[in-house]
Amino acid sequence: MPGLVRDFSAERLTLIAPREDSWAVVGPDGDVEEAGSRPVWDEVCEVYARWERAGRPEEYRLELACDGRQYITAGTGRDVLAWELPTPSGSINEGEGARG
């Protein structure tokens, strides 16, 4: 999930969206406590549902476009999971030196 980080030092699963000052904490019984403007847990549940619809793929493919962009894909057909990886700052695709 873009912009989410996990607090591995927390006793319970804790996901934080620092830019939106939002977070979700999952308790041992599956109860969820949330705060902030971003619906962190709803987003996680939607990604899980997409993974289920894609057939619960266990393998992912890294695909490289000729322009240097990178994509991750999993599954096949209408419910394929796919997303573009962010371009690291200072990479050749940014600003001067980029090639088409």
What is the per-residue pLDDT for 89? 60
Q: How many domains does the chain have?
A: 2
Q: Does the pLDDT at position 42 exceed 90?
A: yes
Residue 100 pLDDT level (bands cut at 50, 70, 90): very low
* Residue length of the chain: 100
Q: Assess if residue 28 is contained within a domain.
A: yes
100 is a domain residue: no
pTM of full prediction above 0.75: no
What range defines the domain where residue 69 resides?
A: 57-87
Q: Has residue 8 been placed in a domain?
A: yes
Residue 65 and residue 44 share a domain: no
The pLDDT tens digits for 49-94 are 988 988 899 999 999 989 889 999 998 788 888 888 887 665 555 4
Instruction: Let me know if residue 11 belongs to a domain.
Output: yes
